[in-house]
Amino acid sequence: MTIASSVKTPIREKAEKVFSSFYTVAISFALAAILAIAVSPVAGVAVFAVAGTLVFIFCKDVKNVLSLLIYIPYFAKQEPTPVEYAVYAFVVALGVFDFFVFAFFRAKNNPGCKTFKNGKMYLPLVVASVAFLLGGAFCNFKFVNFAITLGLCLAMIFVYWLSVNFTENLNEHMLKTFVAGAFTIAFLMFAQNVINGGTIKAIFWRDMSWCVLIGGQNVNAAALYILLGMASAFGLGIKKEKDWVYFLAASFLAFAIFNTMCRGVIALSFLAYAFLIVVSFIKSPHKDNYALAVLSLVAVIMFVLLVDGDVFMDLVNMFRNKVKSGFSGRDELWRWCFEKFAMHPVFGYGFVCDESVPTISTYVGRIPAHNTLVQWLCSTGVVGCILLTYFYYYKYDIVLDNVKTEGAMLSLIIVLIELSGLTDQAAAMDWFTFIIPVICLAALEKIPPAEKSVKMKMLKK
């Protein structure tokens, strides 16, 4: 049942059909992106909030809310105006309304919670939350920081609960979401470049001072989200009649990743692109069409190089300069984190600090270690890392159980996010990025065991 379904009417039935469709997500992304460029990024947050509320009110299946949730940071703003603060207040109030109305309605229609499903990750998520809450509790405790951490942990568990109990066909839906989100972020990035540069060629980001932020999100995180879209495009196209269209979409997103100049994500995308193009070609029902698409793409690239090769050479030279910059201060940052761990090895130093973190001057006040393992050691200590081992054990048990099912691409996406955490902070310190694997794990759990065994037998044949 839905919140608005106590009395069924044709209008409500039509509303449920509309707001449960993926078109709601796609249109919300497009409208938010246009408003972000024409008016303000914060207008995009308002669009997401209103769309999410309508989904909560009319739909049994709330997976569209999850899609909107994970892309909110790209429409936030670092220094909002008073009017934009008012929009944020409206969005927060709407979110609180959604939560309490939804929670009340579900509790009313599920007395004793007898129909709620038991996900495998409930206890591991609780254990992980304990690890985060204990981090720095005995050497760097501040009630405000503790309350924020507790709120984020409860929100993470709530998102998992929604994913397990109130969604269907979440696997393919998330792949579509990542593709739509990647194109939205790429549009915002390229549009921002053109606006700042004043010419169409500025789309290639010649000035390294541009595009440091996409909305309220760092460009490194943006590159990771585009990578997820690239992998998802391949995943949606495998064994399809027009798989070459998905290949071209993935190739465009690969180009967008290169334009971010984020070295770690570029390396990951190169490996993923090479692997997935081979897999998709092998499984293609029309290899001749697929090969023609690949050759056509190569021909277009060669033509552009002949007409205006300077554009690509500028990108190549820019990337070379980025490579020559070494660790960009990460080695000094990691040394500082290990020193904090040595001083507070049991429960760690926490996720915030009053002193300036080396080389990451824009993040004063919190500790982005730019490496997930270093982050957990520094912030949660030995006790936290032991507790998190329990979380990661169940996480990768689900991932490995799905590598030969229709959930293989979501399994790969979880691994890609984890690998990005070797050099970037989003996988550990960005809540919106951290919950993506949580949602993907819920989707993987919902693949029936019988379907897994059948697909494994088919693959073996």
User: pLDDT, tens digit, for every residue of 209-259?
Assistant: 444 567 667 888 899 999 999 999 999 999 898 999 999 999 999 999 988
The alpha carbon of residue 197 and the mean position of all alpha carbons in its chain are separated, in whole angstroms, by 28
Residue 259 maps to a domain = yes
Measured CA angle at 174 (ends 172, 177), to 5 deg: 115
pLDDT digits (tens, 9 = 90+) for 70-127: 999 888 876 778 888 888 888 888 888 877 777 666 656 655 555 567 789 999 999 9
User: What pLDDT, on a 0 to 100 scale, did the predictor assign at position 208?
Assistant: 45
Q: Are 394 and 192 in contact (CB under 8 A)?
A: no
Confidence band for 10, pLDDT divided at 50, 70 and 90: confident
Interatomic CA distance for residues 461 and 458, integer angstroms = 5
Residues 306 and 340 in one domain: no
Rg of the chain (C-alpha set): 23
Number of domains in the chain: 3
Q: Is residue 218 in a domain?
A: yes
Residue 458 confidence class, pLDDT cut points 50, 70, 90 = very low
CA geometry: angle 282, 284, 287, nearest 5 deg: 90
**Whether residue 309 sits in one domain with residue 180:** yes
SS3 at position 407: coil
Residue 47 and residue 32: Cα distance in Å, rounded? 6
Count of alpha carbons within 13 Å of 331, Cβ hemisphere only? 4
Whether 256 and 203 share a structural domain: yes
CA distances from 376 to 237, 369, 447 (A): 37, 9, 31
Claim to verify: residue 345 and residue 438 sit in the same structural domain: yes
Q: Which tokens belong to 342?
A: 């040595």
| pLDDT of the residue at 205 | 56
Q: What is the reported pLDDT for 461? A: 47
Asked if 312 and 342 sit in the same domain, the reply is: no
Q: State residue 36's pLDDT score.
A: 87
Give the pLDDT of residue 199.
61
pLDDT interval class at 454 (50, 70, 90): very low
Q: What is the pLDDT of residues 114-172, one digit of tens each?
A: 556 778 999 999 999 999 999 988 888 888 889 999 999 999 999 999 999 889 999 99
Mean pLDDT of all residues belonging to the chain: 85
- For residue 268, pLDDT over 70 is answered with yes
User: What residues make up the domain containing 431?
Assistant: 334-461
| pLDDT 10s digits, 412-423 | 999 999 999 988
Clarify whether residues 415 and 347 are in a common domain: yes
The span from the first CA to the last CA of the chain, in angstroms, equals 42
**3-class DSSP string for 133-196:** HHCCCCCCCCHHHHHHHHHHHHHHHHHHHHHHHCCCCHHHHHHHHHHHHHHHHHHHHHHHHHHH
**Dihedral sign, CA of 106, 107, 113, 114?**
negative
Q: 217 forms bridges with which residues in the sheet?
A: 214
The answer on pLDDT for 311 being more than 70 is: no
Task: Tell me: do 1 and 85 sit in the same domain.
Answer: yes
**Domain identity same for 360 and 227:** no
Q: What confidence score (pLDDT) does residue 327 get? A: 64
